[in-house]
């Protein structure tokens, strides 16, 4: 019974798991005899055996009456995995096509100008922030202005709230994807934690066009400051939320749609940018 429950955990029905387990025990056997020994109704046994054969769990002999044999478990379970993998890929492709069709329909609808509204949401914890970073590129049309404070180095090195080895590659990948689309990115960062990661990433890129896009569209300057924010296209702002128990540590992030506030922050960014030391990735 335990083995049958394990098979059901993999998606087999009760009859399918019972039939396969019985075949393993009985060896080569006919369908009607297998029905009696497995307690699977004779009206169901042929359908069940056909399903198991399609999954790669059962073989049959073309004789009269037809004989059945269980495929060795190590092979059968790999066959089951491959079958499910193919089905999942096909379902995902169909789902992707459907999403594309629905996206086209919604994109043709009239929408209010979201750049003029005031709205905010919060992202708490590393997983939420990384997920939002990966979705960010779909919202960007023109530019990213990015500032990180001096304390960020200590926060990343301690790794108490956020893992630098996990977050920085995500940031760099999204910046590169944005740069490849022609989006301008300017960053003001402290020390070498971001610079070294970017230089290493740049050196590992073989595609000449991608490298050229990075050179053209990603500009970075080094400056020790206490500001921490990101501006997207003059209306979207990301600001960190400090941990109430440890104000020097990050707890989460706030996403704000506020053109007026973004413009004020942009003026501060330009001031910081003018004071920063230019970095060349080549």
Across the range 252-266, mean pLDDT stands at 89
CA distance 202 to 167: 17
Say if residue 130's pLDDT is above 80: no
Percent of the chain predicted with pLDDT > 90? 30
CA distance 165 to 15: 48
pTM of the model: 0.59
Is residue 7 within 8 A of residue 48, CB to CB? The reply is no
Among the listed residues 239, 263, 265, 262, the one whose alpha carbon sits nearest the alpha carbon of residue 252? 239
- Helix 164-180 to helix 208-217 angle (10° resolution) is 90
Give the pLDDT confidence score for residue 110 in this predicted structure. Answer: 62
Is residue 126 within 8 A of residue 162, CB to CB? The reply is yes
Q: Which of 52-61, 161-170, 259-268 has the lowest mean pLDDT?
A: 161-170
Q: Phi and psi at residue 194, in whole multiples of 5°?
A: -85, -40
C-alpha of 244 from chain center? 29
Instruction: Name the pLDDT band for 85 (thresholds 50, 70, 90).
Output: very high
Percent of the chain predicted with pLDDT > 70? 83
Say if residue 168's pLDDT is above 90: no
Instruction: Name the pLDDT band for 198 (thresholds 50, 70, 90).
Output: confident
CA distance 189 to 106: 39
Say if residue 214's pLDDT is above 90: no
Say if residue 157's pLDDT is above 60: no
Sheet holding 277-279, edge to edge: 119-124, 246-257, 236-243, 229-232, 143-147, 184-189, 218-222, 277-279
Instruction: Name the pLDDT band for 116 (thresholds 50, 70, 90).
Output: low
Burial 98-110 (b: 16+ CB within 10 A, else e): eeeeeeeeeeeee
Residues forming a β-bridge with 239? 254
User: 197 or 126: whose pLDDT is higher?
Assistant: 197
Instruction: Name the pLDDT band for 252 (thresholds 50, 70, 90).
Output: confident
User: 176 or 246: whose pLDDT is higher?
Assistant: 176
Average pLDDT, whole number, for the chain? 83
CA distance 44 to 184: 64
Q: How far is CA 165 from CA 70, 85, 137, 172, in A?
A: 48, 31, 21, 11
Give the pLDDT confidence score for residue 67 in this predicted structure. Answer: 93
Q: What is the pLDDT of residues 42-84, one digit of tens each?
A: 899 999 999 999 999 999 888 888 899 999 998 999 999 998 9
Q: How far is CA 111 from CA 98, 106, 107, 115, 147, in A?
A: 22, 9, 9, 11, 31
DSSP state letters, 157-193: HH-SS--HHHHHHHHHHHHHHHHHTT-EEEEEE-TTH
Give the pLDDT confidence score for residue 150 in this predicted structure. Answer: 76
Say if residue 177's pLDDT is above 90: no
User: 265 or 252: whose pLDDT is higher?
Assistant: 265
Give the pLDDT confidence score for residue 125 in this predicted structure. Answer: 65
């Amino acid at each position: 019974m335990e083995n049958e429950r394990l098979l059901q955990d993999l998606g087999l029905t009760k009859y399918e798991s019972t039939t396969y387990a019985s075949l393993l025990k009985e060896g080569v056997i006919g369908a009607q005899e297998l029905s009696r020994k497995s307690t699977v109704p004779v009206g169901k046994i042929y359908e069940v055996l056909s399903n198991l054969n399609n999954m790669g769990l059962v073989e049959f002999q073309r004789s009269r009456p037809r004989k059945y044999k269980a495929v060795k478990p190590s092979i059968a379970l790999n066959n089951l995995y491959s079958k499910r993998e193919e089905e999942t890929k096909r379902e995902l492709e169909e789902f992707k096509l459907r999403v594309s069709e629905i996206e086209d329909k919604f994109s043709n609808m009239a929408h209010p100008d979201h750049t003029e509204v005031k709205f905010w949401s919060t992202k708490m914890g590393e997983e939420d922030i990384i997920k939002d970073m990966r979705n960010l590129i779909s919202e960007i049309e023109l530019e990213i202005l990015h500032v990180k404070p001096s304390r960020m180095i200590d926060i990343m090195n301690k790794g108490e709230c956020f893992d630098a080895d996990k977050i920085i590659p995500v940031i760099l990948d999204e910046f590169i994807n944005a740069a490849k689309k022609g989006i301008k990115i300017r960053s003001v960062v402290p020390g070498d934690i971001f610079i070294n990661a970017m230089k290493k990433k740049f050196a590992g890129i073989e595609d000449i066009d991608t490298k050229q896009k990075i050179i053209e569209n990603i500009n970075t300057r080094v400056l020790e400051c206490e500001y921490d924010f990101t501006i997207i296209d003059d209306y979207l702002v990301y600001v960190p939320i400090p941990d109430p128990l440890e104000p020097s540590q990050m707890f989460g992030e706030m996403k704000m749609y506020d053109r007026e506030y973004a413009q004020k922050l942009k003026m501060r960014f330009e001031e910081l940018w003018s004071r920063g030391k230019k970095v060349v990735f080549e």
